[in-house]
Structure 1
Amino acid sequence: MADPATSAPLQPASIRAAHAKISQYLHRTPLVTSRTLSRIASSAHPEASLPIPKFNLYFKCENLQKIGAFKPRGAFHATVRLIETLGLDEVRRRGVVTHSSGNHAQALALAAHTFGIPAYIVMPRISTASKIAGTRAYTQHVIFSGSTSVEREEVVAKVQADTGAILVPPYDHPDIVLGQGTVALEMDEHRRRFDAVIAPIGGGGLLGGIATWYSDSPGTRVFGAEPSFQGADDAGRGVAQGKRIEAVKTLTIADGLRTPVGVVNWGIVSDRKNVEAFYSVTEDQIRSAMRLVFERIKLVVEPSGCDQVHLPLLSTLPADLQQSIQKYVRPADRLMSLASALLKYYFIHTQARIPWGQVRISRTPLPHGRPYWSPPPGWRSASQEGDAAAAGLEFNVTHQNGLVGLVGSGRGPSSTMTTQAQLDEWIDIFAEMFSARCRDEIRSAPAAAAPGTAAIIQARLRRFYALWALKEAYIKMVGEGLLAEWLTSLEFENDLKWTPGRLAVRDIRAVLDGRLVEGVQLALVAYEDDFLFATAMRGVVEPAGADTSWRRLDLGLDIRPCAEGRVVCVDRDLGLAEHTVGMIEQQTTGPTGPGAAAMAVQADVSVEADCKRVVDTALQRFGRVDILCNIVGIGGPPGNAVDVDMAQWARGMEVNVASMVMMAKYAIPAMLRNEIGNGEATTTTYRGCIVNMSSVAGIRGGTPSLLYPTSKGAVVNMTRAMAVHHAKDGIRVNCVCPGMVYTPMMYGAGGGMSAEAREARKNRSLLQVEGNGWDVGASVRFLAGDESRWITGECLVVDAGTTSGTSTQIPNSGAVGQPS
C-alpha cells in the first residue's frame, strides 16, 4: 500500500480530490426516499412518553454500486494512489493482495482487473458462495483462511512472502477512508443538507470517510450502527471503555461487519466530535429491516447495510450444497432450495438420531440420482437385529408452492376460486393424477376453520395440494415420471387433515393398486406457512410411532437447535469450560461448516452474583434462555452424623443444592420472556425447562458418607417443588438420577479407579454394562427437548436397572422361593 505518510490529509478537500480520481470507474448511485418508512420512523413507540419528531429518511443505494456495495470507492482510490506512487509497471509486476469476507475482495479484484494488475484475495472459508464467485470473476487467485482478522492476516503475510504483492487493506488506511468518504460527497450533491447521517461500521472505513466529510459541517450529526451478536458491537463498546477493541470473533449475518475497527479509523470514529454515538442492533432487527426495505422500496440490501436475501442456517450445510443453493437468481428460489436441503438434513437427523454435523447425504446412481443416506460405520438402528450392517435410506423431499396462494399472498388458484364448480373443473384438469377415490376425498374435505363456502374451498384445495405433493415425493423417490401409468392408482392411507401453520402428518402409507407398499414412509410438513413439503422415504430407519400430529416444522424451534445449538458452558475452571466448547463445536460443526454457537464462562455457581452474571451473559449473547441444566455437584465430606465436619457439610449443601436454587432464581425470569403457544401454533407449549442433576443416592441412600445422599435427595424433592411452583408459568422442571457411571470425576481423582472396582460397580446393574457421561447426557437432552413436553416434576433414573431389582447373577441357593 502507498505509505500513509504520503496520503492526503483526512479532510473534506481530500475526499473531493479522491472523487475526481475515481468517479469515472464508479456508478453514481441514487439517493431514494420512502414515505412509508419515513412515516414509520415518525410514529410514536407504544412505550414512548415523549413526542416523536417528523423524520424524512433518505437511502444512498450503494447496493446498486459495482459489485453491489460501496467498497469499489476505497479500492479504486487505493489502486490509483499505488499507480501514482510506484508506477503502473511496478504495481503490475508485484500485484496486490488483501483479505475480505467478500465486498472488498470483489472490489479490489475489479479495480486490479481494470488496470491489468494481478490480485491475490484472501477470503474466509465461511464467505458466501455468491461473493466467492464474484471475486473469481475478476481474479483466479482466491486463497481461503479462517474467519478472524488475525487468521486472515497470517495468510496475507504468507502470500506477500511468496509473491511480493502489495497489501491493500480492506479499511485501515487513509486512502481507503478518503475513497469511501466520496459516498457522503455525492449525498450532499443530491441534497444540500442532512440533519443526521447513520452508517454501518465494521472496520470503520465507510463511517470514517463519512465522518471526515462532515467534520466541518456542524449542522450534520453522524452516528454509527453495528450488530450486537457475539460481540460485533466493538466500536460502541470500545468508545465506552476508552480503548480500541483489537479482536472480534462473530458470525453475525452482517458478514461485512465482522471485523474490529481499524487503527486509522479508530482515531476518527472514537472522537465524539466526529461520531456522536453508536447504536447496536440484533440479528432479528437486521432481518426485519431487510424485509421492510425489500417490501417498501423494492431494494434487496445486505445485512451489513441494514447477502442479498438472508438464508438462515446455510453455513451448516456442505460447501458444495451452499454453492448450489446460491446459484439460483431469484431470492424466493434460493430460499426454496435452502428449505428443501434443510428438511433433508432434518429428517435424516431425526430419523437416524445422529448429530447434524455427521449427516452425509449422497445420491443414488444415475439416471435417477435420488437422495441417499448411508449410515456411518458402527451405526445401529434401535430396531435392528443381528450383526448385519445397517441399511441405507433412499428418500426425497418435494414441495408445492401453490400453497402460497392458500395462505393469503394472492398467488395460486385460491385467489380466484370461490365455488365448488370451479374446484370441480380444477380437479378434472388433473384427472390423470388422481384415482376416483382421491378425487372424492378432495371434493369432500371438511372446512378446517369457520364454516362457509370460502373456508370449504380452501380446505379442499389444501387436500388437493397435499395429495399432489405426496405423489410427487413418491415418484421422485422411485425415479419415475409424473405421467407414470401407475400414478393414478397411487393412494395414501392416513387422515390428511393438514392446515397451514398447525399440523404436519407423518406415518402416511402408500397404497398402490389396492396393496400397501412395504418399507416406504411418507410425511407432510409445512415450512414457514409458505410451502407444503412432502417427504418419501424407503428403508425406514425407525418407526414413527402412533402419534401422527406434529407441530408445524419451525426453523427457529426445530431445525436451528439441531444444526447449531446455543450453549453457555459454565465452570470454575475456565479451561474445562473451553474444552467443552471445543467438543461442542467439533461435534456439531464437522465438515459441514460452522454451526455451533457455544461460549465458555468462568463462574462459581455457589456465589449468587456469579449466577446472575451467567444468566445475563446468556441473554446478552443469545437474547434468550430456554434451558437450564444444573449439573454441578461434589462428593462432599466423608463421615456419618457423628463424625462429619459441619463446615464442610455446609459447603457441600451450598454447592450441591443452593447453587441450583440460585441459578433457577435468575434463569426463570429470563425464561418468562419467551413466548408460549397453544399446542397448535409454531411456538412451543412451554416457555423453558430446567434439568437438575441428582443421583440414585438421592432416592436410595446407601453411600459411605451422609452429605452426598442427603444433598441429592434434596435435589429430588426440590425438583418436584419447583415443578409445582412454575408449571403455571409454562416452565418444566425435571431431574436425572444417574447410577454409577464412569466419568472424569471417577477416573481423574486419586489416580483413577481400579479395574476391580470398575468391574464390581458394573456388575451391580441388571444390564451388566458400564455407563458413561454420554448416557446421562442423552437423558438430559430428552428432558430438555420437545419429546418431553408433557413431562414435569419427574426424576429419570439412568442406572442400567441397578435400583429396579437385584442382579440375576446370584446363585439359586441365594434367591427367595427357589428350591435348595
Structure 2
Amino acid sequence: MPELKSPTHLAGPSLADIEAARGIVAAVAQITPIETSHFLSGKLGFPVMLKCENLQRTGSYKIRGAYHRLSRLSDEEKARGVVAASAGNHAQGVAFGARELGIAATIFMPTNVPLPKLEATRDYGADVMLSGDVIGETLQAAAEFAERTGAILIPPFDHPDVVAGQGTIGLELLEQVPDLDTVIVPIGGGGLVSGVASALKQHSARSGRNIRVIGVQAENAASYLASLDAGAPVNIPVRPTIADGIAVYRPGELNYRIIRDAVDEIVTVSEDDAARALLVLLERAKLVVEPAGAVSVAAILAGKIRATGPTVALLSGGNIDPLLLQRVISHGLAASDRFLTMRVMLQDRPGQLARVAEILAEVNANVIEVLHTQHGPDLQISEVELDITVETRGSEHVAQVIAALREAGYEPKLDRRRS
C-alpha cells in the first residue's frame, strides 16, 4: 500500500472532521468496551483486545455513520424525509437515528431479510418496504424512491459524513489502548475501515507513531482485492457467504481511495474460518457476534495476521438471526473437528450396529445422530449403510476415532458436507 504522506493526503474526512463527528455521535452511540482475550493473545503472541461494537446500540457500529449523516441534513432536507436500503445493520442505524431526530424514514430491505432484523427496523419507527431478492435490487428500489419522492438517500458507506462517523471508533481506540500497534477491521463496502484508518493514520502523521490497519474480507466477497489489483473500483460476483453483512459486490468510490492510501494490508477468510471465530467468541469471550463482525477474529485464528505489538480485533456487529446462529454454531463445531460425520458400510447381520457403537464408546466419542439403512443404489444385497455423527474433541480425537474403526476392520468415509 502507498505510504501515508501527511494528514492532508487522504481523500476523506480530516481528523478535525472526525473529532467534530464524535461530539455529534455521542448523543446516541456508546463508547463500547475493550475486552482482553487471553486465548487470542496466546494464538497471536501479542496482547489481543476486542473492540465490542456488537454491544453498540442497534447492535452494530452503523449507528455512528448513519446518525452523523442524518444530523448534518438541513431543515429542508429533514422535512423531505430519508430513505435507505439495507439487509440489516444500516437499516437499523438509519431508523434509530431518524427517530431520534424526528425525521420520517423509509427503509427498503430484501424480501428474504431475517425476521429479527425486519422487526427491529420497524420497531425503531421506520416504514419498511420489502423489495428485491438481492441487495442490488433493493438499492435500486431505494434510489428510485428517492428520485420519485425527493427523500434524501442515506448511503451505507460511500459518503464523507458516514466515514467520519465511523472514524469515531478510531478516536476511542487511541484513548482505550494507548500502546495500540495494529487494528483488524472487517470490510464490506469500506465505510468502517476507511473511517478507522482515516482517524488512525492522520493521528500517526501527527504523532510520528504508525498504527497498522489490516482489513478483512470474506473470500466469497473480496471486492477490494480485485479492485486494488485493477487500480479502480470494480464489480465482482459475490458468492453465498455466512458473512452477509460484508457481502458487497463493489467498493465505495470514496472508501476505495482512502483504503488504497491508508490501509496497510487486506486479507481474506473462508466460511469455515468465520464459523470457527463465531464459536470461539461464544465460548471464550461470551460474546454473540454475527459472522461479518467476527472476521477480524477469524483472520487471527486462520494465521493471516503477523503481529508486531498490541492488537485490537474490531467486532463490528452482533445482529444475527437465531436460526442462522444455530446453523453457524454447528458448522463451526464441524470446522473445529468437534463434530464428525462419517459413512460406514456394514455386513447385514445382527450385532454390527452395536459393535460400531461399542468401538465409539471405547474412544469416548458421543453419538449424536444415526441413520441405518439397507436401501441405496451403491449397496450390495448383503450390506447396510451407517451414517453416523459423533461429538469429538478436536483433530487428534478424530484421528483416534477413525483409527479405532479401521483397526476393527471398518473403513469409514468422512462426509465433509456435514462435518
Same fold (TM over 0.5): yes
Distance 1:446 1:36, change over 3 A: same
1:171-570 to structure 2, matched below 5 A, reads 171-216=157-202, 217=204, 218-229=209-220, 232-259=221-248, 260-271=250-261, 274-306=262-294, 326=321, 448-449=357-358, 500=367, 503-506=370-373, 548-552=384-388
Are 2:12 and 2:198, in contact at CA under 8 Å, matched by a contact in 1?
no
Q: Which amino acid aligns with 1:267?
A: R
Please name the residue that 1:60 is paired with.
Answer: 51
> Which segment is superposed worse, 291-300 or 129-138?
129-138
* Helix, strand or coil at the partner of 1:552: strand
- How many Å separate the matches in 1 of 2:367 and 2:358? 11
TM-score computed with the length of structure 1 as normaliser:
0.38
Are 2:372 and 2:387, in contact at CA under 8 Å, matched by a contact in 1?
no
Distance 1:245 1:147, change over 3 A: farther
CA deviations over 1:447-506 (Å, ceiling 9, x no partner): 94369xx969x99xxxxxxxxxxxxxxxxxxxxxxxxxxxxxxxxxxxxxxx71684235
1:767-778 to structure 2, matched below 5 A, reads none
Q: Which amino acid aligns with 1:132?
A: L
Distance 1:447 1:284, change over 3 A: closer
Q: Note the C-alpha offset of 1:550.
A: 2.5
CA deviations over 1:604-655 (Å, ceiling 9, x no partner): xxxxxxxxxxxxxxxxxxxxxxxxxxxxxxxxxxxxxxxxxxxxxxxxxxxx
Work out which of the residue numbers 57, 74, 79 in structure 1 matches 2:70.
79
Q: Note the C-alpha offset of 1:68.
A: 1.1
Q: Note the C-alpha offset of 1:269.
A: 0.4
- How many Å separate the matches in 2 of 1:10 and 1:335? 37
* Helix, strand or coil at the partner of 2:164: helix
Q: Note the C-alpha offset of 1:278.
A: 0.7
- How many Å separate the matches in 2 of 1:146 and 1:681? 45
Are 2:18 and 2:167, in contact at CA under 8 Å, matched by a contact in 1?
yes
Q: Which amino acid aligns with 1:96?
A: V
Please name the residue that 1:17 is paired with.
Answer: 20
Are 2:86 and 2:139, in contact at CA under 8 Å, matched by a contact in 1?
no
Aligned length, in residue pairs: 337
Q: Which amino acid aligns with 1:504?
A: L
Distance 1:95 1:250, change over 3 A: farther
Structure number with bigger Rg:
1
CA deviations over 1:634-691 (Å, ceiling 9, x no partner): xxxxxxxxxxxxxxxxxxxxxxxxxxxxxxxxxxxxxxxxx9996665614xx9xxxx
Please name the residue that 1:133 is paired with.
Answer: 119
Work out which of the residue numbers 82, 86, 90 in structure 2 matches 1:100.
86
- How many Å separate the matches in 2 of 1:101 and 1:136? 13
The alignment's C-alpha RMSD in Å is 3.7
- How many Å separate the matches in 2 of 1:38 and 1:241? 36
Are 1:551 and 1:682, in contact at CA under 8 Å, matched by a contact in 2?
no
Q: Note the C-alpha offset of 1:198.
A: 1.4
Q: Note the C-alpha offset of 1:233.
A: 0.9
Q: Which has the higher relative contact order, 1 or 2, with Cα contacts under 8 A spaced 6 or more apart? A: 2
Are 2:167 and 2:194, in contact at CA under 8 Å, matched by a contact in 1?
yes
- Answering whether residue 167 of structure 2 is matched by residue 167 of structure 1, we say no
Q: Which amino acid aligns with 1:222?
A: V
Q: Note the C-alpha offset of 1:106.
A: 0.8
- How many Å separate the matches in 2 of 1:116 and 1:61? 28
Q: Note the C-alpha offset of 1:147.
A: 5.3
Q: Note the C-alpha offset of 1:199.
A: 0.6
* Helix, strand or coil at the partner of 2:367: coil
Are 1:11 and 1:212, in contact at CA under 8 Å, matched by a contact in 2?
yes
Q: Which amino acid aligns with 2:57?
A: K
* Helix, strand or coil at the partner of 2:184: strand
Identity percentage of aligned residues: 36
Please name the residue that 1:39 is paired with.
Answer: 42
Are 1:37 and 1:296, in contact at CA under 8 Å, matched by a contact in 2?
no
- How many Å separate the matches in 1 of 2:147 and 2:90? 22
- How many Å separate the matches in 1 of 2:382 and 2:94? 59
Q: Note the C-alpha offset of 1:11.
A: 1.6
- How many Å separate the matches in 1 of 2:195 and 2:51? 15
Q: Which amino acid aligns with 1:101?
A: A
- How many Å separate the matches in 2 of 1:327 and 1:99? 23
Q: Which amino acid aligns with 1:262?
A: G
Please name the residue that 1:111 is paired with.
Answer: 97
Are 2:53 and 2:60, in contact at CA under 8 Å, matched by a contact in 1?
yes
* Helix, strand or coil at the partner of 1:270: helix
- How many Å separate the matches in 2 of 1:105 and 1:131? 8
* Helix, strand or coil at the partner of 1:305: helix
Q: Which amino acid aligns with 2:293?
A: G
Q: Note the C-alpha offset of 1:200.
A: 1.0
- How many Å separate the matches in 2 of 1:58 and 1:549? 48
- How many Å separate the matches in 1 of 2:156 and 2:214? 21
Q: Note the C-alpha offset of 1:58.
A: 1.2
- How many Å separate the matches in 2 of 1:278 and 1:546? 55
Distance 1:301 1:335, change over 3 A: closer
- How many Å separate the matches in 2 of 1:161 and 1:9? 26
